[in-house]
Amino acid sequence: MNLKSKNLILIIGNGFDLAHRFKTSYNDFAKFIIEKKIAKTIIESEYQTYSESLVKKGFIAEVKNNSIYNDRGNFIQRVTSHKINKNYEGMSDTMQSFSSTIKQIINNDFLGKLFDDKYDNWFDIENAYFQEIIQIENKITRSLPKKEEIKKLNKDLIEIKEYLFEYLKSIPTEKNHKVNRFFQSDSFKSIENLYIINFNYTLTIENYFENDFQNTKINYIHGDIDSKDIIFGYGNDKDPNYKKIKESGENEYLRFFKTFEYLRNKKYVDIYDNALEYFEDYDVSILGHSLSQTDKTLLKEVLDNPKCNRIHLHKRKDLEYQEKEMMEEFNTLIYSVSRIIDNEKDLRTKVLNYEDSVLFPK
Same-domain check for residues 184 and 333: yes
Q: Do 35 and 20 meet the contact criterion of CB atoms below 8 Å apart?
A: no
Same-domain check for residues 59 and 182: no
Report CA-CA distances (Å) from 42 to 26, 77, 81.
23, 10, 11
Runs of H (alpha helix) within the chain: 14-19, 26-32, 40-45, 58-64, 71-80, 92-95, 99-105, 109-115, 125-138, 146-169, 177-183, 186-189, 206-209, 240-246, 258-261, 267-271, 296-303, 323-338, 344-350
Same-domain check for residues 348 and 283: yes
DSSP H or E run through 282: strand 282-287
Number of domains in the chain: 2
Position 289, amino acid: H
pLDDT digits 0-9 by tens, 226-262 = 887 789 888 888 888 888 888 888 899 999 999 999 9
CATH number reported for the structural domain that contains residue 199 in this entry? 3.40.50
- The range of the structural domain enclosing residue 103 comes to 26-169
Same-domain check for residues 63 and 136: yes
Across the range 162-179, mean pLDDT stands at 91
Same-domain check for residues 74 and 142: yes
Res. 18: pLDDT tops 80: yes
Same-domain check for residues 48 and 152: yes
User: What's the CA gap between 258 and 154, in Å, rounded?
Assistant: 14
Same-domain check for residues 83 and 158: yes
Same-domain check for residues 94 and 160: yes
Same-domain check for residues 194 and 329: yes
Same-domain check for residues 68 and 159: yes
User: What's the CA gap between 282 and 11, in Å, rounded?
Assistant: 13
Same-domain check for residues 122 and 209: no
pLDDT digits 0-9 by tens, 22-33 = 999 888 888 888
309 in a domain, yes or no?
A: yes
